Structure 1
Amino acid sequence: MGATVEAQVVVVGAGPVGLMLAGELRLGGVDVVLLERLPAPTTESRASTLHARTMEIFDQRGLLDALGPVPNDMRGHFGGIGLDFGGLDSRYPGLWKVPQARTERLLGDWATGLGAVVLRGHELVGLRQTESGVEVDAVGPEGAVRIRAAYLVGCDGEGSTVRRLAGFPFPGADATRELLRADVAGIDVPDRRFERHERGLAIAHRRPDGVTRVMVHEFGADAAPRTGDPEFAEVAATWARVTGEDIGAGEPIWLNAFGNARRLAERYRLGRVLLAGDAAHAQMPVGGQALNLGLQDAVNLGWKLAARMRGWAPPGLLDTYHDERHAVGSRVLGNIEAQATLLLGGPEVEPLRGVMAELFGHDEVVGRLAGMVSGLDVRYADDGAVPLLGSRVPHWELTTEDGPSSTTELLRTGHGVLLDLTAGLPPGTAAAWADRVRTVSAEGDTDVRAVLLRPDGHVAWVDDGTADPHAALQRWFGAPNP
């Protein structure tokens, strides 16, 4: 056996989800090593949309300045039917157009800047769980490497090696329909937004650099069994049959095919191995939800796994990762399946599309669907009895004893926050949790008296004038220090 590496947590996959998780773990004080099969960051930008909730999370971690200005489009869709995302209750309504490679660079710089170690060109070939942790075997540029860690998280995509080696059941259905996708230079075709033709669906968008992304689906065509990406000749031929246009003389930059496969891991955790992102759920990347779903998995898991490693996690905290995110994943897969029917169905779905388009004329319907697709409506609570409980905290501008601040800024350190907005909490209420929960007294434009915020920005407790935060502090942040 070659070199041996010790780590508290090993993450397999240094794409956006793995890097987001690594950064969250480092904020929590955990040593983390990432294994990545590719020798260098990918230049392919498969996912290009960040939704409002992800932008809020990036802001909570202070990442937006480094991201820089990005285009924003208020027009989205649901199953190819136009949907307005401009009315979302967020500082970041709309669809933010960020190539995946740019998102990956942002998160890579953040995670490694915090101390995460990325081992590129290392392929996972084996893993074993022991009573005290996991042993990981990998092959890298200089030979075999063994990593010993307390936990392992698979962020290695839809074909996850971690999921296979650890034995996670992955039920669902394979693709029956597919979209062919290609970035092509040297072609001149009209921009199209979900244009339905007699024989199929065509989408085209020319970027400022002159490269055109085309996507095409031929109605009634079954998903082809594939072991790799399609050839450009297949994409060009399908495009010609659907649109009547010849793009065969173009230069393909990147190609792939994606279908309406739908799978969800039965569990997101088996012992000391966990899954996040596309390793936990396979779905058609319609509406830009796949990447955002995975990033939000990582933010939910990171602080909980860090709490486990730091020794203060209350019983069952790590299991809430599965409980909360599996339910979200199931719901997202459901809305994507509905969209796939509307998008890839032939003439038989036109009556349904007509009814849906009529419903989209109602603000309540638009708000409900946009909130679902954007991730803003995610709520981790048993019921709706207490307003705000379990929801993401709104952005409140605050005045603290240190000056102007906001709920967003208070979450930058990755700690929990007990926010007292009326000076009504007894002094030292959370003093016994001071190593993991910041207590902040502030004034703000809200009727809320006090809230306890989890590190992921979700509300763990709301003061209704009678409640005591100590039960919530123990539930989410463990036993108090002596």
Structure 2
Amino acid sequence: MMMKYEAVIIGGGPVGFMLASELAMAGVGTCVIERLEKPVPHSKALTLHPRTLELLEMRGILERFVSKGSKIPTGHFSMLDTRLDFSGLDTSCPYTLLLPQSKTEKLLEDHARSLGTEVFRGAEALAVTENGEAVQTIFKDRDGSVRTITSKFAVGADGAGSTVRKQAKIEFPGTDSTVTAALGDVVLLSPPPSGVLSLCTKEGGVMIVPLSSDRYRVVVISPYRTQMPKDVPVTEKELRADLLRICGTDFGLTDPSWMSRFGNAARQAKRYRDGRIFLAGDAAHIHFPAGGQGLNVGLQDAMNLGWKLAAAIKGSAPSWLLDSYHDERHPAAEGLLRNTEAQTNLIDFTQAGLHLRSMMSELLAFPDVNRYVAGQISALDVRYEADRTMPPNRLNGARLPDMKLILSDGNSERLYSFLQNGTFVLLSLRQEADDHIEVKGLRTVTASLAEPNEKLRDVHTILIRPDGHVAWAVDASAPDCSEVIQKGISRWFSVTSRV
């Protein structure tokens, strides 16, 4: 049976459903092909970081996630004693949200379906090929029938062993695991007093975080088991013994619902695009799960790619836009891999390693150092290369935090409320600005700031992308300000034929 969609996503995890939501919101006919008939009950990832929470807030769905999770105002770097302080970061979401991946996935799948995404569960992608004009995806449905979908684009969000990446012959260079660790989702009859524990001694490292009222995630890195093959099952006895040795107690560990072993393999796809085929999430990059960054970076991939694919499909994308996905997200994941490698190297239980950890923990106590590292872990410091066709500006390529605006009619609104439908926003901070610019996919807002902001002090107009990054900003002092603004709009809204 031949089927037609404008976009096909292979992989129905959080990244795939986030991307599907972005495309469906833009009116793109989208389907998701997922191998599993039902979502897995256990969760690899547990946290959503500030930048990811901002993205959810931009789409007006943040509260759905917050209502099912727990806010934690700190993060960690390599399980060091000094915590990362998110509470002082320049964001409307100065915290980590503790939320099991299974719940994140369910919320995103429900959202994608509500917007019109069709989901094929229990379906296996057999072949994904493109001919320059379209992509053909052959898959086996849950009833055993073989179906073919023709689409304009296909995205592999199908994990580290990505079928899409392999069939597109995209290289996945990197390093194999040299260290393994164990985790278990368990009941603790005598949990740590605060429910949270991070400890590293010569006997090993332990991290404990609550999953529910009685269940906890226990992660153990034992110097005696770092070479244990990943396929060797973790046992309850092993976790108890390691906790007792490292912490002096096993916290009454019992009733494991899921146990797993993981390693520090680190790989990144050489390119994120091959013609009409794209990669996102673990299909594009894998790493040691230090700091809980993997899921977050994948969701940020989806947010970057979604509006670009939609613009290309609708015929409003300039010719260079799709290539910018690789240009922007590949460096972001490179930074992630460097960061997690540094954290892995700091997990050293020798005397010299413990001394180094102590010194790094002392450095994190300096506010500027803490803020710098927190900005990296939270992804709030990610910025993209500035548009070189526009005059230089300190805001170009950076994310724009949410802020309160006073509109020309005297009413107030939050900036992110204007991004809920995924369009560009042209924010004019001068009352004399031309608010009659009419471009499809562009919302013009004339406003003033409710509170002083030094970064925006001389700014006349900002073009804000659907993902909340600044396409360009023009200062009021810029020569030929109006002409420069018109040029910038034309640059980002060059109408092309539908692809």
Q: Same fold (TM over 0.5)?
A: yes
Amino acid at match of 1:454: R
Structure 2 Cα separation of the partners of residues 474 and 312 of structure 1: 11
Q: Does 1:182 align with 2:184?
A: yes
CA contact (8 A) 2:426 2:444 kept: yes
Q: Does 1:268 align with 2:272?
A: yes
CA contact (8 A) 1:201 1:344 kept: no
Cα distance, 1:186–1:90 mapped onto 2, change above 3 Å: closer
Q: Displacement of 1:237 after TM fit? A: 5.0
Q: Does 1:73 align with 2:72?
A: yes
2:39 aligned to 41, 55, 69, which one?
A: 41
CA contact (8 A) 2:180 2:229 kept: no
Cα distance, 1:96–1:217 mapped onto 2, change above 3 Å: same
Cα distance, 1:180–1:335 mapped onto 2, change above 3 Å: same
Residues 13-33 of structure 1: per-residue CA shift (max 9 Å, x gap)? 111111110111112221110
CA contact (8 A) 2:210 2:217 kept: yes
Amino acid at match of 1:386: N
Q: Does 1:442 align with 2:440?
A: no
CA contact (8 A) 1:201 1:217 kept: yes
Q: Displacement of 1:366 after TM fit? A: 0.8
Structure 2 Cα separation of the partners of residues 114 and 91 of structure 1: 26
Aligned residue in 2 for 1:418: 426
Aligned residue in 2 for 1:476: 492
Amino acid at match of 1:163: R
Cα distance, 1:479–1:125 mapped onto 2, change above 3 Å: closer
Aligned residue in 1 for 2:474: 463
CA contact (8 A) 1:417 1:440 kept: yes
Amino acid at match of 2:494: G
Aligned residue in 2 for 1:396: 403
CA contact (8 A) 1:411 1:455 kept: yes
Q: Displacement of 1:347 after TM fit? A: 3.1
> Following superposition of structure 1 onto structure 2, how do residues 79-228 of structure 1 map, counting pairs within 5 Å?
79-81=78-80, 82-143=83-144, 144-185=146-187, 187-190=189-192, 193-219=197-223, 221-227=225-231
CA contact (8 A) 1:24 1:303 kept: yes
Structure 2 Cα separation of the partners of residues 306 and 59 of structure 1: 20
- Structure 2: tracts of 5 or more residues without a match: none
Cα distance, 1:229–1:125 mapped onto 2, change above 3 Å: farther
Amino acid at match of 1:60: M
Aligned residue in 2 for 1:256: 260
SS of the equivalent of 2:475 reads: coil
Structure 1 Cα separation of the partners of residues 314 and 366 of structure 2: 49
CA contact (8 A) 1:187 1:212 kept: no
Cα distance, 1:248–1:96 mapped onto 2, change above 3 Å: closer
Cα distance, 1:239–1:145 mapped onto 2, change above 3 Å: farther
CA contact (8 A) 1:80 1:342 kept: no
Q: Displacement of 1:435 after TM fit? A: 1.1
Amino acid at match of 1:337: E
Structure 1 Cα separation of the partners of residues 10 and 72 of structure 2: 33
SS of the equivalent of 1:25 reads: helix
Deviates more, 1:56-65 or 1:157-166: 157-166
Structure 2 Cα separation of the partners of residues 408 and 205 of structure 1: 31
Q: Displacement of 1:364 after TM fit? A: 0.9
Structure 2 Cα separation of the partners of residues 6 and 252 of structure 1: 44
CA contact (8 A) 1:415 1:437 kept: yes
Q: Displacement of 1:45 after TM fit? A: 2.2
Q: Displacement of 1:238 after TM fit? A: 4.5
**TM-score normalized with structure 1 length:** 0.92
- Structure 1: tracts of 5 or more residues without a match: none
Aligned residue in 2 for 1:408: 416
Q: Does 1:330 align with 2:334?
A: yes
Q: Displacement of 1:232 after TM fit? A: 4.3
Deviates more, 1:257-266 or 1:325-334: 257-266
SS of the equivalent of 1:469 reads: helix
SS of the equivalent of 2:365 reads: coil
Cα distance, 1:331–1:400 mapped onto 2, change above 3 Å: same
Question: How many aligned residue pairs are there?
Answer: 476
